[in-house]
């Protein structure tokens, strides 16, 4: 499966007078593993939300495989078909088993029960949690929960995975596993992966890193310097 091509074209986002993103432009090629770095409040999360159709830009446009995300009439349908989200917190539903949590995007897509089960178990095997399918999230460690969240993000076979600080609440061992996993996702499925993170470990694992500062994209040279500093 081919990953999505993402075009960010002069995108700005303001909440009232507060400008969170200002005139950001870049392109992410299909199958690229890209990092968005920058300090807290630099606009990373907002940008990911805009790309994932959770929010709309106040100016500019975002194209995901030539679909203008800001103009979607059925954004939930777009997310179901195209995007997989991984958040800093896993947001697993505590009442559902690990397998049921992974199936959530498939329930929305009305995928038949047998296929849902097959696909979710396959993904749980892929993230190394096949044996925990019947467990409740409360019985898992933080790192395991995040791996379940990654399996959930992949359940709908998305062309684009957006990960917002996926290791923000994990220790270094668990973080390493998550980074390996996201790298595998790109390698195995050809999925485009955009990661927003502070994590220094990320620098050596991505194809490209862009740095945001106060809602603006730093020029490549400045970003390169910052990347080297972080590395």
Partner 1 sequence: MTALLSNTLAGLRHRPGRTILAALGTALGIATIVALLAVAGGAKHSAGDLVHLGASDLGLFQKDAADPTTSILPTSLVGSLRRTPGIADATPLVLLVDDIPKAAGAVAFGAEPGGFLTKRLVFTSGHLYRARDEIVVGDGLARRLHVAPGATLRIRGRPLRVVGIYHIGVAYQDSGVFMPLATAQGISDRHGEATVIPIKLAVGTRPATVKREIGRRIPGILVISDPEEATRAGANGQLVSKAALVIAVLALVIGGIGVMNTMLMSVVERRAEFALLSAVGWSAPQVAGRVLIEGVATALIGAAIGLLLGVIGAQLLINVLGAEQFVSPQLTAWDFGRALLVGVLIGVLGGLYPAWRAAQVSPAKVLAQH
| Contact footprint for partner 1 (CB under 8 A) | 45-46, 49, 52, 54-55, 74, 76-77, 79-81, 85, 87, 89, 91, 93-96, 100, 103-105, 107-109, 113, 116, 152-153, 156
Comparison of 157 and 205: residue with beta carbon closer to partner 1 = 157
DSSP 95-148: TS-HHHHHHHHHHHTT--HHHHHHHHHHHHHHTT-GGGTTS-GGGS-HHHHHHH
Coil, strand or helix: which one is 149?
Answer: helix
What is the rounded CA–CA span in Å between residue 118 and residue 113?
9
As measured in angstroms, the least distance from the Cβ of 5 to partner 1 is: 21
Instruction: Supply the minimum distance, in Å, between the C-beta of residue 96 and partner 1.
Output: 6
Instruction: State the nearest-atom distance from the C-beta of 103 to partner 1, in Å.
Output: 7
Closest distance of CB 222 from partner 1, Å: 26
Nearer to partner 1, 168 or 183 (CB): 168
Q: At 190, list the tokens.
A: 């050809």
Residue with tokens 């973080």: 175
Q: Which one, 116 or 186, has the nearer CB to partner 1?
A: 116
- Least Å distance, CB 152 to partner 1, is 7
Residue 19: CB atoms within 10 Å: 16
Q: Per DSSP, which regions of 1-131 are E strands? A: 6-15, 18-28, 33-37, 59-64, 67-68, 83-86
Task: Give the containing element (helix H, strand E) for 196.
Answer: strand 192-196
Residue 179: what are its φ and ψ, rounded to 5°? -65, -40
Find out whether 97 and 135 touch, Cβ atoms under 8 Å.
Answer: yes
Closer to partner 1 by Cβ: residue 103 or 199: 103
Q: In what order do the strands lie in the sheet with 6-15?
A: 18-28, 6-15, 59-64, 67-68
Closest approach of partner 1 to the CB of residue 89, in Å: 6
Q: By C-beta, is 50 or 210 nearer to partner 1? A: 50
Smallest separation, CB 51 to partner 1 (Å):
12
CB-wise, 212 or 223, nearer to partner 1? 212
Nearer residue to partner 1 within complex by CB, 38 or 156: 156
Q: Are 141 and 174 in contact (CB under 8 A)?
A: yes
């Amino acid at each position: 499966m081919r990953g999505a091509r993402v075009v960010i074209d002069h995108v700005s986002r303001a909440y009232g007078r507060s400008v969170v993103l200002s005139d950001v432009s870049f392109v992410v090629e299909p199958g690229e593993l890209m990092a968005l770095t920058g300090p807290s409040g630099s606009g990373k999360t907002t940008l990911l939300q805009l790309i994932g159709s959770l929010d709309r830009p106040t100016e500019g446009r975002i194209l995901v495989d030539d679909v203008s995300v800001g103009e979607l009439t059925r954004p939930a349908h777009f997310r179901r078909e195209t995007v997989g989200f991984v958040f800093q917190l896993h947001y697993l539903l505590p009442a559902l088993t690990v397998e049921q949590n992974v199936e959530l995007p498939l329930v929305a897509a009305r995928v038949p029960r047998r296929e849902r089960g097959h696909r979710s178990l396959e993904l749980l095997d892929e993230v190394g949690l096949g044996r925990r399918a019947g467990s409740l999230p409360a019985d898992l460690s933080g790192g395991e929960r995040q791996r379940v969240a990654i399996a959930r993000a992949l359940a709908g076979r998305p062309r684009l995975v957006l990960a917002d600080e996926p290791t923000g609440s994990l220790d270094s061992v668990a973080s390493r596993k998550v980074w390996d996993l996201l790298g595998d996702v790109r390698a195995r499925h050809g999925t485009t992966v955009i990661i927003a993170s502070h994590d220094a470990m990320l620098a050596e694992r991505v194809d490209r890193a862009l740095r945001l500062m106060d809602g603006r994209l730093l020029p490549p040279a400045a970003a390169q310097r910052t990347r080297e500093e972080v590395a």
